[in-house]
Structure 1
Amino acid sequence: MSEDSLVKQGVAKGTSMGGAVLLVTVGVLEFLQGISAVAKDDVIVVGIEYTYQFDVTTWGWFHLVFGVIVAAVGAALFTGATWARVGAMILCALSIFVNFLWLPYYPLWAITIIALNAVVIWAVATWNPAKI
């Protein structure tokens, strides 16, 4: 195995472990964001009418369920299991789509989560646990 390959795998593994931490953190934050939306908290501000607008309570329940799933897959990603890596990529892709739809409510937060999900997808797709 070449030194460049070992370095690339080391970076991918480190980023994947960081991605696992991020997924667990994002899952918890999604869950809390869902609680805030379901409770009709004043933190969620409904603005302009958009074509794909959902009721804030609907968004809240989605974020509650999605947060639990993301946190669970993030925790499983620490093992390097293939199903957890594939699940992480699928959830990150779904999260990118969902946060695109969430842009009208919190643009900066949504863009940040989209960027972090892209990094996690790269890391998990690049990491080969068998090589390190």
Structure 2
Amino acid sequence: MNRPSYPSDLTDAQWTFIEPHLPSIGESTFCETVSRRELVNGIRYVLRSGVQWRMLPHDLPNWRTVYFYHNLWAKNAVWERVNAALVSEERERKGRKAGPSAAVCDSQSVKTTQKGGLAVTMGTKK
């Protein structure tokens, strides 16, 4: 990385954790011209700063490339796998099992008026 860092850039420790979960970019006939770490830095820049994709700074990879890989990885559930791995590691770090042993499902019932339809919205009388 030959550029000044942004606050949204991955630290070395974060990259070490995330890298194994990202698919490779190049095929055997292509060489990887854009680093996956810089792609993730570009994605994080947009998501953290809230700028439009086209406003990605020029020292990061081209916005079209960053946008393409963000969508591809979202479609292929890469981000879900990264998130699941992060959750598991954090649970283990806190001395718990990697996966939860129970789940809570909650719902709320909302009472509505006795009358419904036009009687309520139009104010019609009995």
TM range (shorter): under 0.3
Structure exhibiting the larger radius of gyration computed from Cα positions: 2
Looking at secondary structure, tell me which structure has more helix per residue. Answer: 1
When normalised by structure 1's length, the TM-score is 0.25
Which structure exhibits the higher relative contact order, with contacts defined as CA atoms closer than 8 Å and separated by 6 or more residues?
1
TM-score, reference length from structure 2: 0.26
